[in-house]
Structure formats: C-alpha cells, structure tokens
Amino acid sequence: MVSLSGTLDAWSEPEVREALKEVLGRGKARLVLDLQALRRIDSSGLSALLSVLKAARAAGGDVVLLSPSATVASVLRLTRLDQILEAYDDEGAALARLSA
C-alpha cells in the first residue's frame, strides 16, 4: 500500500509518478493507493494515476484506490475516471479486489 497526502498537482506529480513507478519496478504490480490524506488533485495528478495504472496492468497487475477524500472523489467522478480507477472505503475490500 502506498499513501499519498497533500496535493497531487503539476509541482508534485513528477516525484509521485517516479516513486510509484519505482514501486512497480520492484515487482509490485498490484497497488493500493491510500488517498485518504490527499486533499487536492489536478489533471497532472490524474495523469500520474493513469500512467501507474497502465504500467501496473502491463505488468499483469492493477491499481485500486482506498478512501479518496471527498474532494478527490468529486474530481474522479467529474472526469469519469471513477469508472476506470476503482475506489474502496474499506482496506480489506481493496486488498480482496487485488487478490481476485
């Protein structure tokens, strides 16, 4: 599980994208991204999430989101990315989804 906090925007996106790709590079193709403490996300942040999702799926894995804050969940719904990036409020459910 990887926890993201604060703001995921054009300023923080390169560092976050690199860190997530590093996790994937260590052979962890199934990721739970805990977004409970992530307060704001912009298009650059969404791009980073989609890039990591694509890389994980290419490696035979997947990415699910855990407890996105209300603001982040709203952005995901507005952009319809909630239909691509599955979100769970329960850690057990998120882990079970990746185990299936």
CATH number at residue 7: 3.30.750.24
Max distance between CA atoms of the chain, in angstroms, equals 35
Domain of residue 82, residue span: 2-99
Domain count, the chain: 1
d(C-alpha 52, C-alpha 30), whole Å: 10
Query: Residues 63, 30, 67, 4: what is their CA dihedral angle, to the nearest 10 degrees?
Result: -90
Expressed in angstroms, the distance from the first to the final Cα of the chain is 17
Mean pLDDT for 16-35 is 92
**Other residues' Cβ atoms within 10 Å of the Cβ of residue 98:** 16
Query: What pLDDT, in 10s, does the model give residues 41-90?
Result: 999 999 999 999 999 999 999 999 999 999 999 999 999 999 999 999 99
Mean pLDDT for 15-34 is 91
For residue 81, what pLDDT is reported? 95
